[in-house]
């Protein structure tokens, strides 16, 4: 059920496409209701795909991040995974997806700047053959020459990232961490890690720039639809986490 709300038929753009089709079918019998539903869902899908709306939503999520954080108290750096592009287990290897690569780059920057022990966290994605944590560790070590002290490779959600990382670090008396992720993901991640017993400090990941000044900011774009998905995923996820955990 959790995956259904997070990545299934109840998420963008699937929900609006389903409602559009439902409206078209309803119009065969209840013309006014069906046409209205199809029109409203089409309008929502259009708006969700515009950079103007997606950037506003991401900025709203990122507004929860604390400003001017002093990272001097950090004892370790934790880099969170964001997914894997599965291979075939033979000649096509599993690779980190673009979001995970961005976080690895941010993690390498944090490691060089702060010189703290580094932890990577991410389990086995559906269809993958190698855990995110292992792929992140290999990338940081081989491509960025940044040592990884611990690799957590069992977690599948942000909450599990926090709980499983706590099992690694808290026996070492490491309770103040610098958390590396995208700015839109950090508010929920910080909350989860604090609930798991850490004092979590956000690494200053690049924040979203509002896009409201050009005509194309109000025209649909695939990247904008993805950004709207991330923003709504975080908004709904923040509420869900507080109710469940």
Verify cis geometry, omega within 30 degrees of 0, for the bond prior to 13. Answer: yes
209 in a structural domain: no
Q: Are residues 179 and 110 in the same domain?
A: yes
What are the two backbone dihedrals, phi and then psi, of residue 85, each rounded to the nearest 5 degrees?
A: -95, 105
pLDDT > 90 fraction of the chain, expressed in percent and rounded: 86
* 82 and 189 together in one domain: yes
Specify if 212 maps to a domain: no
The model's pLDDT over 76-129, given as tens digits with 9 standing for 90+, comes to 999 999 999 999 888 899 999 999 999 999 999 999 999 999 999 999 998 899
pTM assigned to the model? 0.90
- Pairing between β-strand 76-80 and β-strand 176-180 as defined by DSSP bridges: parallel
Task: Please count the structural domains in the chain.
Answer: 2
**Which residue range is the domain that position 49 belongs to?**
2-63+220-244
pLDDT at 8 over 80: no
Residue 215 lies in a domain: no
Question: Are residues 43 and 157 both part of a single domain?
Answer: no
Same-domain status, 162 and 56: no
Three-state secondary structure call for residue 237: helix
Average pLDDT of the chain is 92
Q: Could you read off the pLDDT of 212-245 as tens digits, one per residue?
A: 989 999 999 999 999 999 999 999 999 999 999 9
CA angle 88, 121, 153 (to 5 degrees): 50
Same domain for 189 and 97?
Answer: yes
Kindly list the distances between the CA atom of residue 76 and the CA atoms of 2, 34, 114, 139, 199, in Å, as whole numbers in the listed order.
30, 55, 9, 19, 11
Q: Does residue 59 sit in the same domain as residue 162?
A: no
Task: Say yes or no: 234 and 137 in one domain.
Answer: no
Q: Which run of H or E residues covers position 79?
A: strand 76-80
| pLDDT average, residue stretch 10-28 | 86
As a whole number of angstroms, the distance between CA 112 and CA 99 comes to: 20
Q: Are residues 50 and 81 in the same domain?
A: no
d(C-alpha 97, C-alpha 124), whole Å:
13
Question: Is the pLDDT at 56 greater than 70, yes or no?
Answer: yes
What CATH number should be reported for the domain holding residue 102? 3.40.50.620
pLDDT band for 138, please (50, 70, 90 cuts).
Answer: very high
| Largest Cα span, the chain | 67
| Helical pair 31-48 and 14-26, crossing angle rounded to 10 deg | 160
- Domain assignment present for residue 81? The answer is yes
Alpha helices (runs of H) in 63-97, residue ranges in sequence order:
none
Percent of the chain with pLDDT over 70: 96
Residue 7 lies in a domain: yes
Lowest mean pLDDT among 5-9, 85-89, 199-203: 5-9
Instruction: State whether 34 and 94 are in the same domain.
Output: no
């Amino acid at each position: 059920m959790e995956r259904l709300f997070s990545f299934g038929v109840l998420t963008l753009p699937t929900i609006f496409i389903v409602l559009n089709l439902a409206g078209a079918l309803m119009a065969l019998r209840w013309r006014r209701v069906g046409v209205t539903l199809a029109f409203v869902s089409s309008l929502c899908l259009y708006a969700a795909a515009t950079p103007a709306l997606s950037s506003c939503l991401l900025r709203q999520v990122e507004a929860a991040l604390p400003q001017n954080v002093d990272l001097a108290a950090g004892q370790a750096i934790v880099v969170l995974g964001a997914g894997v592009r599965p291979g075939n287990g033979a000649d096509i290897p599993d690779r980190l997806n673009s979001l995970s690569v961005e976080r690895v780059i941010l993690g390498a920057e944090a490691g060089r700047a702060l010189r703290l022990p580094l932890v990577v966290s991410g389990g086995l994605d559906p269809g993958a053959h190698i855990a995110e944590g292992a792929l992140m560790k290999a990338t940081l070590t081989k491509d960025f020459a940044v040592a990884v002290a611990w690799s957590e490779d069992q977690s599948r959600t942000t909450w599990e990232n926090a709980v499983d990382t706590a099992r690694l670090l808290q026996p070492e008396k490491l309770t103040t961490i610098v958390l590396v992720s995208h700015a839109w993901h950090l508010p929920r991640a910080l909350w989860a890690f604090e609930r798991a017993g850490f004092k979590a400090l956000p690494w200053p990941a690049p924040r979203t720039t509002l896009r409201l000044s050009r005509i194309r900011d109000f025209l649909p774009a695939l990247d904008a639809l993805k950004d709207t998905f991330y923003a709504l995923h975080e908004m709904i996820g923040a509420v869900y986490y507080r109710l469940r955990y």
